[in-house]
Amino acid sequence: MGKGDPKKPKGKMSAYAFFVQTCREEHKKKNPDVPVNFAEFSKKCSERWKTVSGKEKSKFDEMAKADKVHYDREMKDYGPAKGSKKKKDPNATKRPPSGFFLFCSEFHPKIKSTNPGISIGDVAKKLGEMWNNLNDSEKQPYITKAAKLKEKYEKDVAASKSKGKFDGVKGPAKVPRKKVEEEDEEEEEEE
């Protein structure tokens, strides 16, 4: 589970979830030493829920409504951890398109012109079908071009990393404070 913000409020529970929780507590009281087989327990709870009267269900509905109000209040006060979003360099090298996307950029206008009222989803389906119907020799020019673009991209990324430019992943290169102070002292001595 490790992902996510540990300070984020837990999700709201449904009426059925409160019912299952009550069943589990009852089971623990009656059989404290018996471990629960989740699959069997879930089936029994589900069958029991179907037979519960409307009056009894309304009790769990009220619990769920109260939990929703509580959850909504907590979520209103909750703000995700600041600084968690990584900043991207607007001048960073853009990833190159794959062979399929090069193919799409070439044939997309043709499909749109022959079918003016076609939706974006239908264009994408048609392009996917066309790509899948191509044989390997027909796909090869697009794949080769994509490989060349990828090589160029990797060289550009390596060059920008070696220059210490902001690459959008690690953040700007930092100069150790101690080194800056030493350089300042050297400049003062020279004067």
Domains identified in the chain and CATH numbers: 15-77 (1.10.30.10), 99-163 (1.10.30)
8 A C-beta contact, residue 57 and residue 15: yes
8 A C-beta contact, residue 68 and residue 27: no
Predicted pLDDT at 156: 87
* Phi, psi (rounded to 5 degrees) for 178: -60, -45
Convert the pLDDT of each residue in 42-71 to its tens digit: 888 899 899 988 888 899 899 989 988 888
Among the residue ranges 32-41, 49-58, 108-117, the one predicted with the least confidence is 32-41
Convert the pLDDT of each residue in 146-191 to its tens digit: 999 999 999 988 888 887 654 444 444 444 444 444 544 554 454 4
Residue 7 is encoded by which pair of tokens?
């300070």
What is the reported pTM?
0.43
Predicted pLDDT at 72: 85
Predicted pLDDT at 137: 93
Predicted pLDDT at 1: 45
Residue 61 is encoded by which pair of tokens?
């509905």
Residue 132 is encoded by which pair of tokens?
């899948």
Quote the CA–CA distance of 54 and 180 in Å, as a whole number.
73
Other CB atoms within 10 A of residue 176 CB? 8
Predicted pLDDT at 171: 47
Other CB atoms within 10 A of residue 103 CB? 22
